[in-house]
Amino acid sequence: MIGIFFRNLVRDLIRQPLRTSLTLSGVVWGTFSVVLLIAFGDSVGKAQIKRFHGMGQGIVLMFPSRTTLPWQGFLKGKPVRVTPEMVEEIPDKVPGIEVISPEFVGSRLISYGRKEFRNTVRGVNPGFERMRNTIAEKGRFINPEDMAGRKRVCMIGDVLAADLFGSGEVIGQTIFIDSVPFTIVGVMLKKSQNSNYNGQRDERCAFIPWTTFSTLYGYKYVSNFIFRPLDLGRSKAVTEDIKKHLSKLLGFNPADPDAIFTWDTMDFEKQFTTFFLAFTVFLGVIGSFTLLVGGVGVASIMRVVVEERTREIGIKLAVGARRRTILWQFFSESLMIMLLGGLVGFGLSAGALQAVKAFPTGSFVEFIGMPVLNPLVIVSTVLILLVIGVVAGMLPARTAASTDPIAALRK
Amino acid sequence: MIELEGIKKVFRMGSQSLEALKGVSLKIERGEFISIMGPSGSGKSTLMNIIGCLDTPTEGEYVLDSDRVAGLSFDQLAAVRNRKIGFVFQNFNLLPYATAWENVELPLLFDGKNARKRKERVTELLKAIGLYDWREHRPSELSGGQQQRIALARALANDPPILLADEPTGNLDSRSGEEIMDILTELWKEGRTIVMVTHNDRISAHSQRIVRLFDGLVLP
């Protein structure tokens, strides 16, 4: 039976090479689009999340601002001023904080020899490094000793390092920030970053101890501070506790929504993830429609095949075939065509993805990521292929199975 | 064995209806060889289809081996066709792309027999009709007489007690026709019931009894 079945299939496929290749190409192209679109959507999403992590992972940014509600005799509009010392004391008053850093931000003239740039300088503490993924590739980030001694040391972003020194040695060099000499103790590891606040991206920044920053420039109040909660799921509660603590300290309504502007990156990440999931699903749906067109092709061709083989069906019914035997015969034939097309489509898309890999990398990979045939892509494509295959196969197979044997034999 | 009582068959085509059988009663005993004769349009084919369980009567009782056929589902009828009835058609109705072997094997496949049993049975049948050496040939490579013998072998695959032959010699030259009739006669002598439709008097002469149909009724 299996032998006859495959011989039938091959015969049907070979007898009409044009019809077969057109039918198959619909399925092949459909599968190809589904695989590529889902793989693409998935990789863009992942690349963006990775770039988002470039700004930091599991962190909450808090920007002291102005009050928007009157409080205890003060009118609204009172500035909320937070000193770095207050920030560093928060973990003693509010539980659940893993690490916290104040941040001063300023635009300063940075020069080395005859090269001069106006870039962002950030005054922070050592905890900043792991929160904001400003990892030192060479040398080190600023340390507690630098903090205590208000040392004029800095770690600089990789792009700033390249701008100032080209490919030359960086560590230990002295640069001038607003005419004050600083020693470079580290260069940041290159990273991909798509989100930012206050000033340039980290690749162009210089990071110095906040103690040095406030001493040199006379800043008393932070432009913002960053913390990471011990339990990432409790970021909201910890943020509220910090607000309550500061409201007592500085005198503002703890319910004031805008006294301290908060950017919880976990919220953002959730939205981001949801958005890119929806994006991938959307692309998958578009691909499915392409595959659906292929499926319609298979269904209509199988209808023709059923029509051509009415007599055969009649003979089989006459000698005792049950309806479901006939149903199964045509159903599996359609499914075989779908799977054959699907297999070829998978092969082609795997080849295409390999070809993408061979492409010169760079900004392309940074934005789009590297689309691959991962389990998500494979499982969703196979599911779509099966659903469409079953529907496309069932319709003509039901027609075949409901053939009237007498009419069929008379043909 | 085969009992038809007041069989009516009405075909509806839109608003028109055609009464092909108007109340046929017929009893065929086990081991009988009967011919059904009549002009075209007399209802022979319709009657054969009903006896062969390819079609069900609009009205009337059909009892086959003490089973009421009217109450059976399509798939139950398929099982009856598979095991109890063998069909031989005027135009052979072999699968054109399948070999002689595969054509004979078909009813055994639908009966779910295993490969070893199928092989034994097909070999036995092909040898019996003298076409074992032609087993790998397609119908188009066989003569009409050979094709009809293959069709006969297929009809006998599941060793059914009843053979229905619809103008079995209609498409054959007289010599091949005689050969087929000899085989049918042989099978009848082995104890099978044979119901044959023909309008050839020479062919019907092989049978024990002749039933004549006219305008949907059995002539007395």
Q: How far apart are CA B117 and CA B137, in angstroms?
A: 22
**Residue at which a domain ends, from A250, A265, A280:** A265
- Per-residue pLDDT band for A239 (boundaries 50, 70, 90) equals very high
Residue B128: predicted pLDDT = 92
Q: Is residue B149 part of a domain?
A: yes
Model pLDDT, residue A255: 86
Q: Please indicate, yes or no, if residue B153 is contained in any of the structural domains.
A: yes
Neighbours of B202 (CB within 10 A): 12
The parent domain of residue A164 ranges over 60-265
How far apart, in whole angstroms, are the C-alpha atoms of residue A162 and residue A168?
Answer: 8
Instruction: Among B54, B97, B107, select the one facing A406 at the smallest CB separation.
Output: B54
- Residues A26, A107 share a domain: no
Place of tokens 């089973």: B67
Q: Is residue B26 part of a domain?
A: no
Residue B82: inside a domain, yes or no? yes
Q: Does B190 touch chain A (CB under 8 A)?
A: no
Cα–Cα distances (Å) from A182 to A107, A165, A235, A323, B49, in that order, read: 16, 15, 36, 87, 104
Residues A327 and A239 in one domain: no
Reduced to 3 states, what is the DSSP secondary structure of residue B147?
A: helix
Residue A4 has a pLDDT of 63
Q: Does residue A275 surpass a pLDDT of 70?
A: yes
- State whether residue A411 sits within 8 Å of chain B by CB: no
Q: Is residue B204 part of a domain?
A: yes
Q: Mean per-residue pLDDT for B125-129?
A: 93
- Give the span between the Cα atoms of B130 and B134, in whole angstroms: 9
Give B207→chain A minimum CA distance, Å: 24
Alpha-carbon gap, residue B214 to B211, rounded angstroms: 10
B154 Cβ under 8 Å from any chain A Cβ: yes
pLDDT of A177 higher than 70: yes
Q: Which of A265, A285, A319 is the last residue of a domain?
A: A265
Same domain? A185 vs A292: no
Question: Does A300 share its domain with A345?
Answer: yes
Strand B2-13, strand B162-166: pairing: unpaired
Percent of chain B with pLDDT over 70: 100
Task: Check if B40 contacts A (Cβ < 8 Å).
Answer: no
> φ, ψ for residue A149 (rounded to 5)?
-90, 5
| pLDDT of A149 above 90 | yes
Distance CA A199, CA A233 (A): 29
Question: Domain check: are A201 and A315 in the same one?
Answer: no
Segment A109-114 mean pLDDT: 93
Per the structure, how many domains does chain A have?
A: 2
Is the predicted pLDDT of residue B136 greater than 90, yes or no? Answer: yes
Residue A1, pLDDT above cutoff 60: no
Asked if A406 has any chain B CB less than 8 Å from its own CB, the reply is yes
Looking at chain A, the whole-number percentage of residues with pLDDT higher than 70 is 96
In the prediction, which pLDDT does B85 show? 93
A276 and A258, same structural domain? no
How much is the pLDDT for A104?
95
> Rounded CA gap, B135 and B138, in Å?
8
- By Cβ distance, the residue of B55, B75, B102 closest to A322 is B75
The domain that holds B157 is classified in CATH as 3.40.50.300
Residues A171, A128 share a domain: yes
- Could you tell me where the beta strands, DSSP code E, fall in chain B? 2-13, 16-28, 33-37, 59-64, 67-68, 85-88, 162-166, 193-197, 209-214, 217-218
pLDDT at residue B67, rounded to an integer? 81
- Note whether residue B180 is domain-resident: yes
Q: Which residue among A265, A299, A327 closes a domain?
A: A265
Average pLDDT over residues A57-84: 90
For A31-54, what is the mean pLDDT? 86
* Token couple for A353: 């993805």
Torsion sign across C-alpha atoms B57, B58, B63, B68: positive
**Residue A214 has what pLDDT?**
94
Q: Does residue B26 surpass a pLDDT of 80?
A: yes
Say if A118 is an interface residue toward chain B (CB within 8 Å): no
pLDDT category, A21, cuts 50, 70, 90? confident
Task: Return the pLDDT at A333.
Answer: 85
**Could you tell me the two tokens for B38?**
């009549």
Is A311 in contact with A406 (CB distance < 8 Å)?
Answer: no
pLDDT tens-place string over residues A116-133: 999 999 999 999 998 988
Mean pLDDT of A140-167: 94
Judge residue A24's burial from the number of C-beta atoms within 10 Å of its C-beta, 0-12 exposed, 13-18 middle, 19 or more buried: buried
Do A244 and A177 share a structural domain?
yes
Q: Taking all residues of chain A, what is their mean pLDDT, rounded to a whole number?
A: 89
The pLDDT of residue A328 is above 70: yes
Any chain B CB within 8 A of the CB of A316? Answer: yes
Subunit contact B110:A324, Cβ cutoff 8 A: no
Distance (Å) from the alpha carbon of A399 to chain B's nearest alpha carbon: 15
Residue B207 lies in a domain: yes
pLDDT tens across B73-84, in order? 888 899 999 999
Range of the domain at B112: 31-56+73-218
Name the band, by pLDDT with cuts 50, 70 and 90, for residue A360: low
pLDDT at B220 over 90: no
The residue behind tokens 């103008």 is: B167
Quickly tell me which residue has 């289809």 as its tokens: B49
DSSP code of residue B168? T
Do residue B75 and residue A317 have CB atoms under 8 angstroms apart?
A: no
Nearest to B110 among A319, A406, A409 (CB): A319
- 3-class secondary structure for chain A? CHHHHHHHHHHHHHHCHHHHHHHHHHHHHHHHHHHHHHHHHHHHHHHHHHHHHCCCCCCEEEEECECCCCECCECCCCECCCCHHHHHHHHHHCCCEEEEEEEEEEEEEEEECCEEEEEEEEEECCCHHHHCCCCEEEECCCCHHHHHCCCCEEEECHHHHHHHHCCCCCCCCEEEECCEEEEEEEEECCCCCCCCCCCCCHHHCEEEEHHHHHHHHCCCCCCEEEEEECCHHHHHHHHHHHHHHHHHHHCCCCCCCCCEEEEEHHHHHHHHHHHHHHHHHHHHHHHHHHHHHHHHHHHHHHHHHHHHCHHHHHHHHHCCCCHHHHHHHHHHHHHHHHHHHHHHHHHHHHHHHHHHHHCCCCHHHHHHCCCCCCHHHHHHHHHHHHHHHHHHHHHHHHHHHCCCHHHHHHC
Let me know whether A70 and A154 are in one domain. Answer: yes
Alpha-carbon distance of A373 to B111, in angstroms, equals 45
Q: How far apart are CA B115 and CA B17, in angstroms?
A: 47
Task: List chain B residues with CB under 8 Å of A319.
Answer: 81-82, 87, 106-107, 110, 154, 157
Residue A322 to residue B78, Cβ atoms within 8 A: yes
Q: Is residue B196 part of a domain?
A: yes
Q: How confident is the model at residue A215 (pLDDT cuts 50, 70, 90)?
A: very high
> Does residue A350 share a domain with residue A287?
yes
With CB atoms and an 8 Å threshold, state whether B82 touches A8: no
Number of domains in chain B: 1
Does residue A363 carry a pLDDT above 70? no
